[in-house]
Amino acid sequence: MPTVSVQTVAEAGVVGAGGAGFPTHVKLAGRADTVILNAAECEPLLHKDKEILRHFPEAVLDGLARAMHLVGAERGVVGIKGKYEDVIEQLRPKLPARIDLVPLVDAYPSGDEFILVYDVLGRVIPPGGIPLHVGVVVINVETAMNVAVSADRPVTEKYLTIAGAVPEPVTLRVPIGVTLAECVHAAGGATVEPGNYMVGGVMMGYLEEDHDALVDKTTGGVIILPDDHVVVRRRRQDWQQIVRIGRSACDQCSFCTELCPRWLLGHPIEPHKAMRSLEFNLVGEANVVGTSFCCECNLCSLYSCPEDLDPKNVCTQNKRRLASEGRRWENPPFDPGRADRHLRNRKAPTSRLMQKLGLKQFRNVGPLREELLPAVRVGIKLKQHIGAPCQPVVRVGEKVTQGQVVGRPPINDGKPALGAPVHASIDGTVTAIEDGVVWIER
């Protein structure tokens, strides 16, 4: 079996497939005692991680074992919701000696790395920290599978769930670079007109107006929603509306803070105090500096607030402003014991969240269709990861084969910038390189 190394993972272009797109080789260059496989998949209606585990358990566990080897970890843990009993039953007999499985409660946001590390190991990552600070590396299910095969083939395919207002919710296997509309079409098309595309999920995803936007290494799913759906209406609220309504209706009940997962971990974020910045135009440290530690899970805005206000956006606006001003909270106050006192009792059950968001009208399934979606044209984005955009290494008119590198991170001071190469996902000819995309046609 070919040897997987940090270099093979880098050359294969493996990045976090669970949303953020952090280059995996950088993570795997660290040292940790434990690697957690993040199979929590807490975004409502998404099923791709569970389906990958169901169909390819050996490959995923192999990727987890290889990641453990690379970071020197003694222990690997599969964190998966306990409700997926059939998948757990299938996995248990396959678990190698140093890998165990921890069933998770069905709550949101159980897939947040900070929450996952606490739920699985009881360790609290400090504010502004990363899992490595408590000796842990977290990798997503699909990422682990990509690590396992990285010495053989680069990342040219993506799995994503298409759900919501479609006749046939499904998890698809597609070449990177197909359009979202092609994927929705493969699920039978939208059953509402217009069908709005929530990319990445209803909680942390975004409303994509361009249905020909391209699938990249981080696209986890598309939820189709009608125009009058509460999630769509909330996403379309502009900042002036958020400020006007928030200023007049926030009664400082503090439910947003009491249920905030990061506050419950002991971090100094208090969204109800950030809301005060609307009323008085305050930018005082006490009210807003803690917003730097908001993970943007949206729980406060879409679940906790009884007035349907938008503390999440108030937090993120403040967070971005602080970042642009280069302001950080050095040595923030931290109450690591708060998690033990409160977190387990204050989780937001997925079922109640779905009820509140009007998602129970949709079928909550996404069986995997294993055959690769056919494509005659793909657009390979030069930036599909955290870090610098790749630079094209092919020319218009050049013939390329599937798996060939078409873009690489730039070299700065003799070293590649943070990023990961991107590869052709089909055989064909490069027809254009424009707006950060390499277009390939068969």
- Which residues contribute to the site for ligand SF4 (CB under 6 A)? 250-256, 260-262, 269, 271-272, 275, 294-300, 304-305, 307, 309, 311-312, 315
In whole angstroms, the minimum distance from the beta carbon of 230 to ligand SF4 comes to 16
Nearer to ligand SF4, 33 or 296 (CB): 296
Nearer to ligand SF4, 110 or 304 (CB): 304
296: region left, alpha or beta (phi > 0 left; psi from -120 to 50 alpha) = left
In whole angstroms, the minimum distance from the beta carbon of 249 to ligand SF4 comes to 7
In whole angstroms, the minimum distance from the beta carbon of 231 to ligand SF4 comes to 15
Nearer to ligand SF4, 217 or 319 (CB): 319
* Number of Cα atoms under 13 Å in the Cβ half of residue 107: 18
In whole angstroms, the minimum distance from the beta carbon of 309 to ligand SF4 comes to 4
Nearer to ligand SF4, 57 or 311 (CB): 311
CB 115 within 8 A of CB 31: no
In whole angstroms, the minimum distance from the beta carbon of 106 to ligand SF4 comes to 18
In whole angstroms, the minimum distance from the beta carbon of 82 to ligand SF4 comes to 23
Nearer to ligand SF4, 178 or 314 (CB): 314
In whole angstroms, the minimum distance from the beta carbon of 310 to ligand SF4 comes to 8
Question: For residues 36 and 102, what is the distance between their CA atoms, to the nearest angstrom?
Answer: 10
* Pair type for strands 405-408 and 391-392: antiparallel
In whole angstroms, the minimum distance from the beta carbon of 204 to ligand SF4 comes to 9
Nearer to ligand SF4, 107 or 260 (CB): 260
As beta bridge partners, residue 179 has 214
List, in order, residues 6 or more apart from 340 with CB less than 8 Å away: none
In whole angstroms, the minimum distance from the beta carbon of 329 to ligand SF4 comes to 15
List, in order, residues 6 or more apart from 415 with CB less than 8 Å away: none
Nearer to ligand SF4, 168 or 258 (CB): 258
**Torsion angle of C-alpha atoms 240, 245, 251, 254, degrees rounded to 10:** -60
* Number of Cα atoms under 13 Å in the Cβ half of residue 422: 35
Q: C-alpha 434: how far from its chain's center?
A: 27
Nearer to ligand SF4, 210 or 279 (CB): 279
In whole angstroms, the minimum distance from the beta carbon of 128 to ligand SF4 comes to 13
* 270 burial level (CB within 10 Å; 0-12, 13-18, 19+): buried
In whole angstroms, the minimum distance from the beta carbon of 275 to ligand SF4 comes to 5
Nearer to ligand SF4, 196 or 291 (CB): 291
CA angle 383, 398, 434 (to 5 degrees): 35
Nearer to ligand SF4, 244 or 363 (CB): 244
Nearer to ligand SF4, 21 or 311 (CB): 311
* 263 burial level (CB within 10 Å; 0-12, 13-18, 19+): buried
List, in order, residues 6 or more apart from 229 with CB less than 8 Å away: 196, 358
Question: For residues 133 and 228, what is the distance between their CA atoms, to the nearest angstrom?
Answer: 44
